[in-house]
Amino acid sequence: MTTGRRVRRSSTASRVASMCVVVAALALCGMPYMVTANVVQQLTSLFIFLILAVMWNALAGYGGMVSVGQQAFIGAGAYGTIFLTQWGMSPYPAVALASVGSAVLAALLSPLVLRLRGGQFAVGTWVVAEVLALLVTFDHDLGGGTGVSLRGLNVYGPDLRRAYTYWITLAFALLLLALVFALLRHRTGAALQAIRDDEDAAASVGVRVRPLKALLFVLAGFGCGAAGALTLANTLFIQPQSIFGVQWTAYMIFMVLVGGLGTFEGPIVGAVLFFTVQYAFADAGAVYLIGLGLVAVAFALFLPRGLWGLVAGRAQVPLLPVGYRLEDSAL
């Protein structure tokens, strides 16, 4: 008997894990009927963090675009929802349309910001976020610098509002996970990772660098816009300095670095861990933020693959089949 090598995408473990994900998603749909209102609101926050982590990982982990300005789209989604409700649209349809509007904003900005690379791209996205924050601050119809409330949700009772917000947030989280999963399983996913590793080399073998980067940038704009709109629906009040704040970038970087940059499961692990840490230590104020930064730096220096990268490297079995792997086979 001889042995050979063959390329496989899925395994028994990945098929079982995929079924568990489906079962978990169905179970999560019933949570508003099984837990208290406070838990529902906390779970909604967790799903928002998950969306942000998945979107930043898609940009940086798979596309090599390290953005520190995704709060531009978070704020655009939130204030887009306010704008649409002021024109008479119902709040939840406004959340969906504002998310699409954030994607359109990303598409309009992409010809400019995608000319930049590395640190220039990071700084450029941050400048865009600051400009949008200033524009909102000067607009008194949107509350100016004092903030604004989403009054349209007052027509719902508190428990019903929390349940509806939970369900739409869960739907967005599952949709975005599915889109990233499908993108990575397509040949586009391999092309994006080639761009991440060496943009010039990828272009030299025929990869369409600019359109693929634009696709990923628009997807991240849509996801972050949804996260901003859902944050507004969950808290009912926003201010420019908070919703456009750079702390969102700190949160995203922490979740992705700790969970596992460039892995599909890593951002999920990072979001759960970050949510747990925030729930326990958020009252510490500035010390809490400094601690997050130090932990992120430590992971970047000493455990660059993150927690999930460490586990997957030892197990050698991917739970969700987004890539390919070589394994020995009997011939």
pLDDT above 90 covers a percentage of the chain that reads: 51
| Helix or strand run (H / E) with residue 325 | strand 325-330
331 lies in some domain: no
Q: What does DSSP assign to residue 186?
A: S
Contacts of 66 by beta carbon, 8 Å cutoff, 6+ apart: 59, 60, 118, 121, 122
* pLDDT for position 286: 67
State pLDDT tens for residues 135-188: 999 988 888 888 899 988 888 888 999 999 999 999 999 999 999 998 888 888
* pLDDT for position 1: 45
171 lies in some domain: yes
- How many other CB atoms are there within 10 angstroms of residue 302's CB atom? 7
State pLDDT tens for residues 223-266: 999 999 999 999 999 999 899 998 899 899 999 999 988 888 89
Q: What is the CATH number of the domain that holds 258?
A: 1.10.3470
* pLDDT for position 105: 97
Q: How far apart are CA 123 and CA 141, in angstroms?
A: 29
7 lies in some domain: yes
159 lies in some domain: yes
* Pair 331, 2: CB distance under 8 Å: yes
Domain with 160 in it = 3-326
| Domain count of the fold of the chain | 1
* Pair 271, 252: CB distance under 8 Å: no
Please name the amino acid found at residue 110: S
322 lies in some domain: yes
Q: Which residue has the tokens 């925030």?
A: 278
3-state SS, residue 320: coil
| More confident position, 55 or 320 | 55
* Position 3 pLDDT exceeds 80: no
> 74 falls in which pLDDT band (50, 70, 90)?
very high
44 lies in some domain: yes
Query: Helix H segments across 236-246?
Result: 240-243
258 lies in some domain: yes
Mean pLDDT, the chain, integer: 87
* Pair 175, 262: CB distance under 8 Å: no
* Position 78 pLDDT exceeds 80: yes
201 lies in some domain: yes
pLDDT above 70 covers a percentage of the chain that reads: 89
